[in-house]
Amino acid sequence: MNWRKFDGTQIEQPIKDAVEEAIIREHEQGNKLKVCIGTDSQVTNGAIEFASVIVFLREQRGAFMFIHNDTSYKDMTIRERMIVEVSKSVEVSYNLCDLLDQYDVELEVHADINTDPKFPSNQALNEAMGYIISMGFQFKAKPEAFASTNCANKMC
């Protein structure tokens, strides 16, 4: 997976190593961190562009993030696309959870799924919530899921 920083700088090392370096640097600067992971997607001309983000929240001191984009040309229903978004976030979270536990960094998985039944994405809410919670992660959906709804959304 190719990851980059918000300024476009490519992360050359494995993402787990980059996350560990960021945690160590932030702790040395006295910052308490929380990590929120989310994925969003946009459909354009038959392609689905996915953006996954790892958002590092510094308690009362702003945030920064790492970003990964990939594209799928598979035709998907809205429900299927929401589940794929969640699975991408869970995969990243699963790969980082032992590291985050080691450094006592709280983790949330954010799903770009609306809790209001009037919206099409809502049809995947129960499955997504069950998937994330069954993996042992804290779950957030819209409107609290800023990592997917705001951060990843802007990276598609």
Q: What is the CATH number of the domain that holds 80?
A: 3.30.420
pLDDT for the residue numbered 156: 78
Taking the C-alpha atoms of residue 140 and residue 150, their distance in angstroms, rounded to an integer, is 13
Tens digit of pLDDT at every position of the chain (156 positions): 799 999 999 999 999 999 999 999 999 999 999 999 999 999 999 899 999 999 999 999 999 999 999 999 999 999 999 999 999 999 999 999 999 999 999 999 999 998 988 998 888 999 999 999 999 999 999 999 999 999 998 897
The number of folded domains in the chain is 1
Q: Print the domain residue range for 25.
A: 3-155
In DSSP terms, which residues pair with 106 in a beta bridge? 34
Beta-strand pair 63-72/106-114: unpaired
Burial 6-20 (b: 16+ CB within 10 A, else e): eeeeebeeebeebbb
Does pTM surpass 0.85?
yes
